[in-house]
A and B are shown apart, each in its own frame.
Chain A
Amino acid sequence: MSSHAPGHANKPRDIKRFLVGIFTEEEQILSVTKAATDAGLPVHDTFTPYAVHGLDAAQRLPRSKLTFVCFAGAALGFMTALSLQAYTQAIESPILSGWPLNVGGKPFLPLTAFIPVTFELTVLFSGLISAAGLLAFCGLFPGRKPRLHIDGVTNDRFAIAFDPSAKLYDEVRARDLLHSHGAAEVYFVGENA
């Protein structure tokens, strides 16, 4: 059942290697992940062509903290927008003074008139900061190679990876588990630097 992916067999020792099981069905990756976590085998990660519902629970992944990043971005945008408008429309200061302009006698600090721009900048800041946060949290950037490149997981394969250096890792049990859940292939994959 097991095979060695060509090109990964003779890697130098300092490259970290992971035991990978390949599956062809969504149900298999869900059940094998759940079984591994339940059995106390530390799952390094799973790899899927699309977001599989329930897999994060099976893997016992915590909720993403990006919601807080998004909220911080929104708060920053909100305050930037309000202070920018208040400063430029109404405040006369000794340094870089605004120039309060009388437009048809309209009030200088009309908060209702500031709502649209405040809203837009809130959305702009929170959206951009959340997106940047996603890239930062996942370590994604242009030109990066996938840390663990497993053939087929962006197409029609589902993979589970075990880290041999993890504390409770047991290769025999891991291989047994993979085979008993119908792994199409089991092999080692080396990490990209």
Chain B
Amino acid sequence: MSSATSSLREPLVTGNPSLAQISDDICAPMERKPSLLWWAAFLVALSALVIGFSAIGWELYEGTGTWGLNKTIGWGFDITNFVFWVGIGHAGTLISAILFLFRQKWRTSINRSAEAMTLFAVMCAALFPLIHMGRPWFGAIWVAPYPNLRGPLWTNFRSPLVWDVFAISTYFTISAVFWYIGLIPDLATVRDRARTRIRKLIYGILALGWSGSNKHWVHYETVYMLLAGLSTPLVLSVHTIVSMDFATSVIPGWHTTIFPPYFVAGAIFSGFAMVLTLLIITRVVLRVEHLITIHHLENMCKVIVATGMMVGLAYATEFLIAWYSGSNYEGYTFFSNRATGPMSWSYWIMVSCNVISPQVFWFKKMRTTPWIIFVMSLVVNVGMWFERFVIIVTSLHRDYLPSSWAMYDPTWVEYLTLLGTFGLFFTLFLLFTRVLPVIAIGEVKAVSRFAKPHAHGAHGSAIGAGPGLDPHAALSSSPVQALHSSSPVEAGSHV
């Protein structure tokens, strides 16, 4: 039985809202004036954005010398932030595509905001490869393969850095398309309930003339499934390719075959943490606790504890292989440097945040208490930022020659740039909560207890459950019971 409303499972949407109520509840935050809390959050985020982008402006004007990088440590905060933000983006596509293919219906309440988060996170990430080139106006063009006057000298497709350009830009484009396709029916809902002319006009343009026609739904569902199928390997490929930026090099600490699955697991881990951070606030501020329920949060906590242990296993495997391979360089990098060297503090922050602390989610009480989940999600975010910092900086700062050993002191420009990306991320997310439905209205309707997906396909004879059916009877029991309690013959009865 593939019913989403099995009597053994908790309902995905609590309180049995009617279809109209679901539209009302999800559209309400877009239709009322923003609260003071929203304004406060928006101003803080916008200030961070302005400060951060001023720092970037200074870096572009003065050069990358404003960063704390040196000859030994050629990548610092820039690529750490890049990998961190790309990883954050992974949860959105995982929720929207992979959980869709696995028929995990609880995704419907959270996929829209998680996908939005993906887009914003990838924007933050894409900033860093651009600005770390110092002259981004050239870099942005030169990575693209186009006929040119340099010989023509083409981009080197044998380099993982070029693969990364294709991976990130494809990921952003496909995520945006997937998100927008998902939005079309909801934009039509917003269009049809718009009161003012300007709203009707804008949402009318955005909804592309969607009419709810079933002939369109058939194509729509097919494309949605296709995009989910395409995005699933895509999301795995993106962080795999990001990890190859490191794994194909010869630096001890980077030259590791476990990197692709390790990075993908870490990306999902950090992405879910960020989804939780955002949704725990969103569901309260937008008053949608009955749509994004504790059950949703609990499920995400389970994903966190699972992926947290995967990264834990990867950390352990790196040490095992460093010992087992017998390579002096590997052994030095992991045992003498990473775990006990001058930057070991960052390593132990990483381990305690990512491996030890998520273990609290073994307890149901912890998985179902929003403030604990919120604190834990922040802890995981910190831990995953440090994971990238550890991989990048501790592997670089002890070079082969002791004379080139160096320490890394990030400058205020780097700190403010990191702050600026959080500003960009939260500014965009807050704007998103104002202008677009943060929950997929149509999809939630389809899984709400009024709608009984699959019951019809599985029981052809039950289709006739018509007006004679007492809706309350249907709500209080499983669909199978409800359908059996009403005779198909009754369906044709006159009202």
Residues of A within 8 A of B (CB): 25-28, 30-31, 34-35, 45-59, 61, 63-64, 66-67, 70, 84-85, 88-89, 96-99, 101, 103, 106, 110, 113-114, 116-117, 119-121, 123-124, 126-128, 130-131, 133-135, 137-156, 159, 179-182
Contacts and interface: CB of A to CB of B under 8 A. Distances in A.
A134 B180 CA distance: 12
A45 B214 contact: yes
Nearest to A85: B157
Contacts of A30: 456, 463
A27 B210 CA distance: 23
Interface stretch (B131-139, B321-329, B466-474): B466-474
Given A26-B450, A52-B214, A88 B209 contact: no
Given A35-B492, A135-B208, 14 more contacts: A25-B467, A31-B463, A31-B466, A49-B212, A49-B442, A57-B457, A63-B222, A88-B155, A113-B157, A121-B170, A126-B230, A130-B223, A134-B220, A155-B19
B147 interface: yes
Given A31-B466, A49-B19, A96 B147 contact: yes
10 contacts: A25-B469, A47-B214, A49-B185, A123-B174, A127-B173, A131-B180, A144-B209, A145-B209, A146-B188, A181-B466
A64 B157 contact: no
B227 A131 contact: yes
Contacts of B160: 116
Contact of B157 (A49, A61, A114): A114
Nearest to B445: A50
Interface centre among A31, A49, A59, A144 (most CB of B within 10 A): A49
Interface string B27-45: 0000000000000000000
Given A50-B451, A88-B155, A155 B23 contact: yes
- Closest 10 CB pairs between A and B? A144-B209, A146-B211, A182-B467, A156-B19, A88-B154, A64-B222, A54-B456, A140-B208, A116-B163, A50-B442
Interface string B220-235: 1111001100110110
Contact of A101 (B147, B156, B221): B156
Nearest to A183: B495
A123 B230 contact: yes
B398 interface: no
Contacts of A182: 466-467, 494-495
Contacts of B223: 64, 66, 70, 130-131, 133-134
A63 B217 CA distance: 11
The interface size bin for chain B is: 35 or more
Given A88-B155, A119-B237, A141 B442 contact: no
A156 B467 CA distance: 16
A143 B204 contact: yes
A173 to B, nearest CB: 14
Contacts of A121: 166, 170
B213 interface: yes
A155 B189 contact: yes
Contacts of B215: 45, 61, 138
A50 B211 CA distance: 11
A20 to B, nearest CB: 12
B192 interface: yes
Given A27-B465, A88-B155, A130-B226, A51 B221 contact: yes
Contact of A34 (B163, B237, B463): B463
Given A51-B221, A61-B215, A181-B491, A128 B177 contact: yes
Nearest to B447: A50
B15 interface: no
A128 B234 CA distance: 14
Contacts of A114: 157
B209 A154 contact: no
B359 interface: no
B145 A88 contact: yes
Contacts of B494: 179-180, 182
A62 to B, nearest CB: 8
Given A31-B491, A156-B18, A98 B154 contact: yes
Contacts of A53: 453-454, 456-457
Given A34-B463, A89-B158, A180 B492 contact: yes
A91 to B, nearest CB: 11
Interface in B450-495: 450-454, 456-457, 463-467, 469, 471, 491-495
B158 A106 contact: yes
B205 interface: yes
Nearest to B181: A131
Interface in B79-98: none
Contacts of A127: 173-174, 177-178, 226-227, 230-231
A33 to B, nearest CB: 8
Contacts of B181: 131, 134
B23 A181 contact: no
B257 to A, nearest CB: 14
A98 B147 CA distance: 9
Nearest to B153: A99
A133 B452 CA distance: 30
B260 to A, nearest CB: 11
Contact of B452 (A26, A103, A151, A181): A26
B241 interface: yes
A119 B213 CA distance: 34
Contact of B152 (A49, A99, A126, A142): A99
Nearest to A124: B170
B220 A124 contact: no
Nearest to B192: A154
B237 to A, nearest CB: 6
Contacts of A67: 222, 226
